[in-house]
């Protein structure tokens, strides 16, 4: 009979569940759209169901339950109305208001990045790579919103 550990239960499934859930927790901590102060939890639940006849064996079920911080809410305005035919029209807020909101968000993100990295060069490199990776997609989305608004 071997010793039980995360590595041996269900041929390593418990260890794998733990590692995958831990990655979720770490990703959530690094997500700038989540509250940096929020507490995250990771619970591993083991359920043991003994063999009722002789109690010489049991079934073990393991479940990983990460409790993550929710993403912060982003609020924007929509213009609602009817056109001349009575068809519903939906428009976005003015460009100036959207740009102002984006700049305010940029400042909040910059402040948070400075606080999180706090002189840690590896953390700064990680954040740089992450931001650079997502920058083109985000810029395309913002530009698309601006041009969509101009077309309306």
Please, how many CA atoms are within 13 Å of residue 115, restricted to the half-sphere of its CB? Answer: 11
Which carries the bigger pLDDT value, residue 48 or residue 124?
A: 48
Q: Please state the pTM of the whole predicted model.
A: 0.52
Instruction: Clarify whether residues 89 and 125 are in a common domain.
Output: yes
90-137 confidence digits (pLDDT tens): 776 555 666 666 666 667 777 777 777 777 777 777 777 777 666 666
Long-range CB contacts (< 8 A, 24+ apart) of 76-81?
76/101
Instruction: Clarify whether residues 108 and 132 are in a common domain.
Output: yes
Instruction: Clarify whether residues 119 and 141 are in a common domain.
Output: yes
* Any domain includes 19: yes
Q: How many domains does one find in the chain?
A: 2
* Any domain includes 13: yes
The pLDDT of residue 3 is above 80: yes
What are the two backbone dihedrals, phi and then psi, of residue 85, each rounded to the nearest 5 degrees?
-95, 0
Instruction: Clarify whether residues 54 and 85 are in a common domain.
Output: no
Instruction: Clarify whether residues 82 and 63 are in a common domain.
Output: no
52-95 confidence digits (pLDDT tens): 899 899 999 999 999 999 988 776 667 777 777 888 877 765 55
> Where is the domain boundary, 20, 46, 67?
67
pLDDT of the residue at 125: 75
> Where is the domain boundary, 67, 87, 106?
67
The pLDDT of residue 24 is above 80: yes
> Where is the domain boundary, 39, 67, 95?
67
Instruction: Clarify whether residues 24 and 55 are in a common domain.
Output: yes
pLDDT of the residue at 123: 75
pLDDT of the residue at 51: 92
Domain span at 112: 78-151
* Any domain includes 73: no
DSSP states along the chain? -PPP-TTTGGGGHHHHHHHHHHHHHHHHHH-TTB-TT---EEEEEEEEEE-TTT-S-EEEEEEEEEE-PPBPP----EEEEE-TTS-EEEEEPPHHHHHHHHHHHHHHHHHHHHHHHTT-HHHHHHHHHHHHHHHHHHHHHHHHHHHHHHH-
* Any domain includes 129: yes
The pLDDT of residue 16 is above 60: yes
Instruction: Clarify whether residues 84 and 55 are in a common domain.
Output: no
């Amino acid at each position: 009979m071997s010793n039980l550990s995360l590595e041996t239960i269900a041929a390593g499934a418990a260890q794998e569940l733990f590692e995958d859930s831990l990655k979720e927790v770490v990703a959530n901590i690094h997500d700038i759209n989540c509250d940096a102060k929020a507490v995250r939890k990771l619970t591993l639940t083991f359920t043991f169901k003994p063999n009722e006849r002789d109690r010489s064996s049991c079934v073990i079920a393991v479940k990983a339950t990460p409790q993550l911080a929710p993403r912060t809410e982003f609020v924007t305005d929509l213009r609602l109305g009817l056109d001349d035919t009575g068809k519903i029209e939906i428009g976005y807020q003015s460009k100036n208001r959207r740009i102002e909101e984006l700049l305010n968000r940029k400042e909040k993100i910059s402040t948070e990045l400075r606080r999180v990295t706090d002189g840690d060069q590896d953390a700064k490199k990680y954040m740089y790579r992450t931001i650079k990776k997502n920058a083109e997609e985000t810029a395309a989305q913002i530009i698309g919103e601006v041009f969509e608004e101009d077309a309306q």
